[in-house]
Amino acid sequence: MTRANELDESMDQGADQGADPRSQKQRMLAGDLYIADDPELAADNRRVSAWMDRYNATNTLGQPERQALLAEMFARVGEGCNIRPPFHCDYGYNISLGRGVFMNFNCCVLDVVAVTIGDMTQIGPGVQILTADHPRDPAQRRQMLEFGRPVVIGANVWIGGGALIMPGVTIGDDAIIGAGSVVTRDVPAGAVAVGNPARIRG
């Protein structure tokens, strides 16, 4: 059974939150249904918000100083990473960057689960990387349930400005994503994907 089918089945069965002994944060990190309006997660949001206030005031600082700040919050930061402020994320601790990753101004990463970006990948301004997803059942959305699907971006990928990388997507090494594209499916290594929804070109 695929992960998507497992989630659909749990949604159909009604996701009994009371029977699950795990915290909402543990459920979130596992990619299972959870309630985002939870005190522990709210505290994590406040922490990353305070960090973003600091990070987004670093326009006059050099790359080494910004990298040190990234290392405070992210799961992993390879040598030579540079994210130009302003930058926005949900938690920070689910983001892993390889060596030499570059993200231009005004990128947003909703990292309710893991976001992994490989070495030397370049990401244009205004790109959104989204792991957060929501039940298709409106009754469950009214219960404020959501879940996440990890995003994996390989090495030496180039993502053009304004692209959207949707939940659960994997982009292979050396791929190119056209500016403004909406990536809803996996992109193979070395491929060029453009459009809304993004399709492999040539």
Which residues are CB-neighbours of 80 under 8 A, at least 6 positions away?
63, 67, 99, 100
Across the beta sheet with 145-148, the strand order is 34-35, 145-148, 132-133
From the candidates 88, 99, 134, 199, give the one annotated as an active-site residue: 134
Q: Apex CA 130: angle with CA 181 and CA 76, to 5°?
A: 115
Report how far residue 73's alpha carbon sits from residue 156's, in angstroms, rounded to the nearest whole number.
23
Which residues are CB-neighbours of 82 under 8 A, at least 6 positions away?
63, 66, 67, 101, 102, 103
Residue 19's Cβ-side half-sphere holds a number of Cα atoms within 13 Å equal to 5
134 is a catalytic site residue: yes
- What are the catalytic residues? 134
